Structure formats: C-alpha cells, structure tokens
Amino acid sequence: MATAIAMMAGGAVLNATTFVGDSYLAKYLSSGSENSQQFEREWHDKELEKYQRDYSSWSEKRQKYLDWQEQNKNSNEIVSQALKNTNYALKLSNKTHPHISFNYQPPQFSDYYRSSKQQKMGEMAHVSGGMMALGYAASKWL
C-alpha cells in the first residue's frame, strides 16, 4: 500500500517536473533561432492550408462517388454477381467509368509538411536533455 502511494506521488512529481522543465528547456534551446522558428511556423501554416484544401477536395470527390454508387446500386449488384475476380472488376469499372477517378486514400499531412533538420535536431536535443535531467534527478533523489 505504501509502495503504491509512493509510486503515485513520484509519478505526480515527475509529471510536474516534466511540464515545468519542458517549457524552460524549449526556450533555452531555441533562444538564438527566432528567424528559423518564424520560417518553420510560416512553412507549416502554408502546407497546412494546402493539405486542408486538398482534403476538402478529396472529401467532395468521395461524396460524389458515394452518391453515384448509391444511385447505381442495382447495376453494381448485377456487376458484382457477374464478376468474381476483384482486381478484374476494378479494372473493368475504371475502363467503363473513366469520369470517376477517385483516390481511395485521403491526403496525409505528412505528404505536405516535413519538418526541417534543424527542427528535428532541436526536438531530439529537447527530449534527450529532458531525459538526462530526469535521470540525474532520479539517481540523486531516489
């Protein structure tokens, strides 16, 4: 029982230390690169806008496809009964309905934005520094 209470209290102290040290460490590691932070922020925002625009376009196309599919449900059932091989059915459907070219995968934000090496290195330094500080604190106090 006492061990469980000690573990809960230690976890709470560790979480509080992490949250407080996190913002301090982030400010310390990024103090000299205000321009690069601004550039990274602007780049991220532009790519996010492109992603949102393409995602809404994908959603509209998907909805049109689903509507078309619902309207032609009867003919789709006949086709699905007649065609056994799924790959052949998809190829045939694409040939017979070329106006419906639908990308089945939604756009992913990772296709638009990749953080810079400096950003990644800063994040790695941030995580590494935090873990080393917590490890040192744990070795001294526990």
Does 41 fall in a domain?
Answer: no
- CA distances for 109 relative to 46, 112, 113, angstroms: 12, 5, 6
Tens of pLDDT along the chain (142 residues) come to 666 676 777 777 667 666 666 666 666 666 556 677 788 888 888 888 999 999 999 999 999 988 888 887 777 666 666 655 676 777 777 777 766 666 567 778 888 888 888 888 888 888 888 888 888 888 888 7
First-to-final CA distance of the chain:
18
CA–CA separation, 23 and 35 (whole Å)? 19
CB 109 within 8 A of CB 51: yes
Does 43 fall in a domain?
Answer: no
Same domain for 104 and 126, yes or no, is no
For 99, which DSSP code?
T
- Residue-number span of the structural domain to which 81 is assigned: 48-111
- CA distances for 96 relative to 39, 78, 81, 84, 86, angstroms: 47, 15, 17, 17, 15
Does 38 fall in a domain?
Answer: no
Q: Which residues neighbour 17 within 8 Å (Cβ) at sequence distance 6 or greater? A: 134, 137
Same domain for 127 and 90, yes or no, is no
Verdict on whether the full-model pTM lies above 0.85? no
